[in-house]
Amino acid sequence: MKMKYVASFDIGTTATKGLLVSIDKQVICSKSIAYKTIYKGDKKEQEPEDWYRAFCEISKTFFERGYLAQDIIGIVMSGQMQDLICVDHLGQPLGPAILYSDARAIHEAKEITKSIGEDVLYTSTGNKLDGSIPFAKLLWVMRNEPSKYNEIYKILISSKDYCVSKLTDQYITDMTSAATSGLMDIQAKTWNKIWMKNMDLDPQILPELKYSQECVGEVTKRASIETGYNEGTKVYAGTGDAGATTLASGIANAGEYNINIGTSGWIAGISKDVLLKENVFNLAAMQKDFFINVIPFLNAGGVHKWITSVLAPEDQSDPYAYINLLLNESESGSHDLMFLPYLSGERFPVLDDKAKGCYIGITPETTKNDMVRACLEAVAFSIRQGLEVIGGKVDKITLIGGGAKVQLWCQIFADVFAKTIYVSEDTEFMPSIAITAAVFINQGLEKDYSSFIDSFLSSNSFTLYHPVQGDAERLNKKYKKYIEIYPAVKNLF
């Protein structure tokens, strides 16, 4: 039998990654294309067409390398969530997408909360409403850009939803992404359309809700020309990035947690119910009867990228290798240099879009090595705060995402948490491989998500990072000082 493939994509914050994954779960071909974020003061936006252009270019690369469109059995994607993407009746974007990290709609969030009721919102969605939530951002658009609002045919919540619409002319979102919208009843998996009406918003512009494994359409003739896929190739709902990462991490029981270090980051557990705790963000998992309990952070891998851009010489051919060299020559604790990593504001442990990053404790002896390591220690401290909010026992911690490729950072996490950290040796591609389960389940090639996880994890090897006692004790003392930084400096921002 000739080998068949699934085309799997992650439409991320900084780049789109595309893979061809064989039906025996092997990565056959991969490519990544980066794009820019538009910063306008505190506003953060991206051009949806940049996502789709990257998708098209990567897709054509598959076929240029000799793979045949007729051997692609399906297309599935994950993507950044909590965006607001407005399109007209032709499916064209009405300006840039407002990103998840953009909290411009603070006043609108307060207005919605007052109108509908904080307890009603929280009980139904499993989450508090703030200025970064699409519901509030849509009200902001209606109030501040009325001509744009009047042209809206549909809104989309995830970057991958836009690419799905370009391929199929269907406007959908998955349950994981929809849980970030501020509008979905997380238990019933339905839109709260009456809330839209209460705020004079049109509920008809909401996308259709789909489970990750549902086939939502087929590649159109136009999309076939643009991408190279055969007309009629099946396209699946896919999932928001947190759904993909959680499935890939293999966590399945209480006490098991996954840390994701992308540009932003989170720590997540999985459960059979929502966890109504302060600062916990609840999502619907790819598995129908499960929920993901998440503490999200705006600042994670982006901090590593920032310090690399600042300290690496401009003529350095591999700036990250240079930063790794500095890290490897650094000492645990960074000679007591402290860093607050809120470069993009923050949503946990504080919701403060005005917060900034800062160093505390610079001396004449402070080195570049200390400055790099203090940044990475600070991200680990921030995520430790998240785990402490969730509470309960901690049996296992897995680490995934681009940050997991930095070996010393993995060790820092082990020391900060005083726990063994499990890191897959193929962490970069794991989420994109994991979401192919949606296609395999739909087409009868896999029984369910549990069986997929078992076979998927058994084929992957993990590196274990154990805490070093002296370093763990040192960083525990430093952590107690770290949590005092923001309260001491917040009024300066």
Cα dihedral 107, 110, 114, 117 sign: positive
User: CA 152, CA 87: separation in Å to the nearest integer?
Assistant: 6
Joined tokens for residue 223: 């999309």
Instruction: Check whether 159 has a pLDDT greater than 80.
Output: yes
pLDDT of residue 1: 59
Q: What SS3 state is found at 334?
A: helix
pLDDT of residue 178: 98
User: CA 274, CA 128: separation in Å to the nearest integer?
Assistant: 13
Look up the pTM and report it. Answer: 0.82
Strands 421-424 and 396-400: parallel
Instruction: Check whether 176 has a pLDDT greater than 70.
Output: yes
User: CA 41, CA 360: separation in Å to the nearest integer?
Assistant: 25
Q: Could you tell me which residues are beta bridge partners of residue 256?
A: 396
Strands 265-271 and 154-156: unpaired
By the 8 A CB rule, do 398 and 257 touch?
yes
Q: Could you tell me which residues are beta bridge partners of residue 381?
A: none
Q: Could you tell me which residues are beta bridge partners of residue 360?
A: 338
User: CA 248, CA 169: separation in Å to the nearest integer?
Assistant: 29
Output Rg (C-alpha) for the chain, integer angstroms.
Answer: 22
Q: b/e for 397-429, b at 16 or more Cβ within 10 A?
A: bbbbbbbbebebbbbbbbbbbbbebbbbeebbb
- pLDDT tens-digit map of 230-258: 999 999 999 999 999 889 888 877 788 99
SS3 content of the chain, % helix, strand, coil (to 5): 40, 25, 35
State the average pLDDT over residues 25-36: 94
Instruction: Check whether 457 has a pLDDT greater than 80.
Output: no
User: CA 298, CA 328: separation in Å to the nearest integer?
Assistant: 26
User: CA 483, CA 206: separation in Å to the nearest integer?
Assistant: 40
State the average pLDDT over residues 473-487: 97
φ, ψ for residue 265 (rounded to 5)?
A: -160, 175
Q: What is the dihedral of CA 17, 256, 132, 413, to 10 degrees?
A: -70
Angle at 330 between CA 307 and CA 413, to 5 degrees: 75
- pLDDT tens-digit map of 31-61: 999 999 999 988 999 999 999 999 999 999 9
By the 8 A CB rule, do 291 and 281 touch?
no
- The full set of domains in the chain, from first to last, is 5-238 (3.30.420.40), 249-434+461-493 (3.30.420.40)
User: CA 251, CA 396: separation in Å to the nearest integer?
Assistant: 8
Q: Could you tell me which residues are beta bridge partners of residue 184?
A: 191
- pLDDT tens-digit map of 125-156: 999 999 999 999 999 999 999 999 999 999 99
Strands 239-240 and 234-236: unpaired
pLDDT of residue 277: 85
Q: What is the largest CA-CA distance in the chain?
A: 67
Q: Count of CB atoms within 10 A of residue 231's CB?
A: 13
Ramachandran class of 189: left when φ > 0, alpha when ψ lies in -120 to 50, beta otherwise: left
Mean pLDDT for all residues in the chain: 94
Starting at the edge strand that comes first in sequence, how are the strands of the sheet with 38-40 ordered?
38-40, 43-46, 97-98
State the average pLDDT over residues 433-461: 86
